[in-house]
Amino acid sequence: MAHPKSRISKQRKHKRRTHKKAATPQIATCKTTGEKHLYHRTYEVEGDLYYRGRVVARFDEDIDVE
């Protein structure tokens, strides 16, 4: 197993990690529905599930889950 020659201080570790930040997510607008959503994610509009402007799944409200 790798073994460090000397311990890295907290300050040095935190300095190195300052650049590892989460970028702001990109938001797209669907051309079909006009709904704003994250890239490469499905999104729901009026009970239908969309991906890339196409209906992927339709959900009925009549389904009873018990």
**Total domain count, the chain:** 1
Position 64 in a domain: yes
Position 48 in a domain: yes
CA 52 to chain centre: 15
User: What are 17's two structure tokens?
Assistant: 């990690």
pTM, rounded to two decimals: 0.56
| CA proximity to 32, closest of 59, 7, 1, 55 | 55
Position 21 in a domain: no
Position 44 in a domain: yes
Position 3 in a domain: no
Q: Could you list the residue range(s) of the whole structural domain that residue 48 is in? A: 27-66
Position 2 in a domain: no
Q: What is the pLDDT of residues 4-58, one digit of tens each?
A: 888 989 999 888 888 877 788 899 999 999 999 999 999 999 989 999 999 999 9
